[in-house]
Amino acid sequence: MRVKCVGLGKSFGSKRAVNDLSFVLEPGVVTGFLGPNGSGKSTTLRLMLDLDRGDGRTLFDGKPLTEYASISKIVGTHLDAKLFHPQRSARNHLRMLAAESRVGNSRVDEIIEYMGLKEVAKKRAKTFSLGMSQRLGLAGAVLADPKVLLLDEPANGLDPATIHWLRDFLKQYAAMGRSVLVSSHLLSEMELMAERIIVISKGELLANESIDSFIRRNQSFALHVRVDQPDSLQAILLNKGIDVQREGEILKVNMSDARALGDMCFDNSIRVWELYEQRGSLEQTFLELTSKSEEYKIGGM
């Protein structure tokens, strides 16, 4: 199912939390949703589900959610690890959610087993650890086998083995033609989990593309070069307005075209000993991109 968000917007008082945000979630793809704290990720998810009243609209295969008969077969959500009544048992919580789509108790038990919740199924949810709560939230999201999954920080509190399981699960889920949107602060994990990313900051869209293209497009000083006349090359590059940093014998050049840099060295009779592309991580690129616009920066010690 294709999910199209058009012009999503939301203000809290005078602060614009989300501003004219438009993007599309394609089926068969896990899309990561990234942004610094307070950038508007959770607000965007709530706007998509019409939980918060704001501007814009979200269409699921061209129709708003309210036009579908059974919502949980269309979109499964996990917006917070603790969104359940603490006195209700895990099984009863899932049975309650199952009522919307008329999913039977056998499916509830199947999901409980699948999510590794069998031992605690009859225990009250208030006794659950954060990891268990996350699993219960995920169980609720996938209970009716929805065509779209919207997950807000589903990996928080999970142990490494469960994170690994979650990654495989979401990839498999998307591979069956479903659309998956996952917001997370675990950028290294996101790099392994998602194919595409949507990056927002201060409620505005910064990027909506594949992870590879995002890194390539936003990475600074991607080319590293070692030459016989580093001073000369540095001067030439600076003359041409190209950022360059020197680190010992290595020059880090803010260019993406290795061939052009090689030619430039050749034209100026500079001998190249080493020239390679340093591919940055998603985390590094994300931090570089958002550092300027981040609202709540952590102070230095």
Partner 1 sequence: MSVLLFEWRRISTLRSTWILSVIAILQAVLILNLPFLLAEVPESATATSLNDVMPLVIIPVFIIFMSTIVAAAFGHDYRHGTIRTSLSLFPNRFELLFGRVVVAFLFTFVIYVVTILAIVATIYAWSSVSGGLQWASFWPAFLRGLLYMTIYNLGVIAVVMMTRIQALGIVAPLMMSLAVENIVLLTLGNRYAWLGEYFPYSQGLNWALGFSNDFAANSGTVTDVFTSMPPSFLISQIVLFGFATFLFQKRDTS
By CB under 8 A, tell whether 29 contacts partner 1: no
* Tokens 């995920």 sit on residue: 138
CB neighbour class for 201 (10 Å; exposed up to 12, middle 13-18, buried from 19): buried
258-267 helix and 230-239 helix, angle to the nearest 10 degrees: 110
Edge to edge, what strands does the sheet with 250-253 contain? 244-247, 250-253, 223-227, 272-277
Asked if 84 is part of the footprint of partner 1 (rule: CB under 8 A), the reply reads: yes
Q: Which of 13, 62, 66, 267 binds partner 1 (CB under 8 A)?
A: 66
Q: Considering only residues 99 through 158, tell me which ones interact with partner 1, judged by CB under 8 A.
A: 99-102, 140
**Distance in Å, CB of 58 to partner 1, minimum:** 10
Q: Which stretch binds partner 1 (CB under 8 A): 21-29, 68-76, 211-219, 274-282?
A: 68-76
Which residues in 244-273 contact partner 1 (CB under 8 A)? none
The CB-of-146 to partner 1 minimum distance in angstroms stands at: 11
Identify which range of 63-71, 112-120, 204-212, 228-236 contacts partner 1 by CB under 8 A.
Answer: 63-71
* Smallest gap from residue 3 Cβ to partner 1 (A): 14
Q: Please give the backbone phi and psi of residue 251, each rounded to the nearest 5 degrees, phi first.
A: -105, 125
89 binds partner 1 (CB under 8 A): yes
Kindly tell me which of 96 and 272 has the beta carbon lying closer to partner 1. 96
Considering only 88-96, 164-172, 215-223, 272-280, which stretch makes contact with partner 1 by CB under 8 A? 88-96
Minimal distance, residue 79 CB to partner 1, in Å? 6
In this structure, which amino acid lies at residue 187? Answer: L
Binding-site member from 20, 52, 195, 277 for partner 1 (CB under 8 A): 52
Closest to 29 measured CA to CA, from 211, 216, 284: 211
Q: Specify which residues 24 forms β-bridges with.
A: 4
Binding pattern for the stretch 30-49 against partner 1, x by CB under 8 A and - elsewhere? -------------x--x--x
- In angstroms, give the least distance from the CB of 18 to partner 1: 12
Cα dihedral angle (67, 203, 179, 56), rounded to 10 degrees? Answer: 20
Cβ of residue 129: shortest distance to partner 1, in angstroms?
17
CB atoms within 10 A of CB 104: 11
Distances (CA, A) of 282 to 19, 196, 210, 211: 24, 11, 11, 7
**85 contacts partner 1 (rule: CB under 8 A):** yes
**Residue of the chain from 13, 14, 53, 301 that contacts partner 1 (CB under 8 A):** 53
50 is a contact residue toward partner 1 (CB under 8 A): yes
Nearer to partner 1 by C-beta: 60 or 169?
60
- What is the contact surface with partner 1 in residues (CB under 8 A)? 43, 46, 49-53, 65-66, 70-72, 75, 77, 79-80, 82-89, 92-93, 95-97, 99-102, 140
